[in-house]
Amino acid sequence: MRVGVLGTGAMARALGGGWAGAGHEVLVGGRDAERTAALAASTGARPGTLAEAARFGEATLLALPYDAVLPALGTVGPVDSFGGRILIDCTNAVGPGPVLTTGEGPGAARTLAAATGARVVKAFNHVTPAVWSRTPPVFADGPVAVPLCGDDEEALALVSTLAADLGCAPFVAGPLAHADLLEATTAFLIGLWTSGRDPRAMLPPPAALGD
């Protein structure tokens, strides 16, 4: 599969590098050509521009801070020119508190979908790049589960394949509207993790819940 990656940060390195290692053709694009080239060389990806990454292959990973996504896409062309494109949204619109910076309206993924007309799939936002950098992302209880939220079956299947190729266990968690819930859950988890609490302690296995 051919995948574009917007950004040169930790998520771009972890996910883009993982996909390149799994045999996919990955093109990373960033504003800084030297940094982009260094990331590509260290991960087995190809270097390119933001414009090239935004249009490359079957899908593009939005590995940028949430507030930077639409401005970055705007440098490529009108943001509404991405109609039908598969965009993988791993962003978290989270500020100190933590709180969602999207307020009471639509969440990050739905806002990006409405602005671009793209087939957006929310995925990979619920844990840190350090987890995705594991080869594979497996813990004592098995592979990391990856919830996917989206409205397009083809897009969900594509992202499911990419998650499985990292060694993860993808599952469809619902339509794109459910991305709001996933984003809020992630913000809540960030608060627990940063306070030193283990979220697993409050989540018993299904068998313990009774009938």
Q: What is the pLDDT along the chain (211 residues), one digit of tens a residue?
A: 999 999 999 999 999 999 999 999 999 999 999 999 999 999 999 999 999 999 999 999 999 999 999 999 999 889 988 999 999 999 999 888 888 888 888 999 999 999 999 999 999 999 999 999 999 888 877 899 999 999 999 999 999 999 999 999 999 999 999 999 999 999 999 888 888 988 888 888 888 887 6
Q: Which domain holds residue 51?
A: 2-197
Could you tell me the CATH number of the domain that includes residue 138? 3.40.50.720
Taking Cα atoms as reference points, which of 5, 61, 78 lies closest to residue 36?
5
Examine residue 207 and state whether it is found in any structural domain, yes or no: no
Question: In whole angstroms, what is the distance from residue 3 CA to residue 158 CA?
Answer: 11
Examine residue 208 and state whether it is found in any structural domain, yes or no: no
Sign of CA dihedral 157, 163, 169, 172: negative
Q: What is the pTM of this model?
A: 0.95
Taking Cα atoms as reference points, which of 52, 50, 116 lies closest to residue 84?
116
Examine residue 204 and state whether it is found in any structural domain, yes or no: no
Structurally, the chain folds into a number of domains equal to 1
Examine residue 175 and state whether it is found in any structural domain, yes or no: yes
Question: How far, in Å, are 75, 115, 180 from residue 71 at the CA level?
Answer: 7, 11, 22
